[in-house]
Amino acid sequence: MQQVVINCVYGGFQLSDTGIAFLKDHGSIVPEYPTQIARDDPNLVKLARIAPDQASYCKLEIVEIPDDVEWVIQEYDGAEWVAEKHRTWP
């Protein structure tokens, strides 16, 4: 099973400075905009498990999905869920 971290309340995904420092200290690559961190990053999953309070104005949740599923995070007003990736056209 794959583990993916999402924000399960309205407001959007954001980590605290301490949470970002935790990821960097554990070897994760944190992009210029930390909201774009890979949500399946093992260190982010670890952070969500041991210190979920290191999120700013959001609530981290770990979602487990089957290994063979291609996934994408979708959101409405900042509350997120994991959906199976599929093709769409405008």
pLDDT along the chain (90 residues), means of 10: 94 89 94 91 95 81 95 94 87
Q: At what angle do helices 17-25 and 42-50 cross, to 10 degrees?
A: 130
Nearest to 80, CA basis, from 13, 24, 14: 13
pLDDT value of residue 60: 92
φ, ψ (nearest 5 deg) of residue 62: -100, 125
d(CA 9, CA 30): 23
DSSP state of 2: E
Q: What is the pTM of this model?
A: 0.89
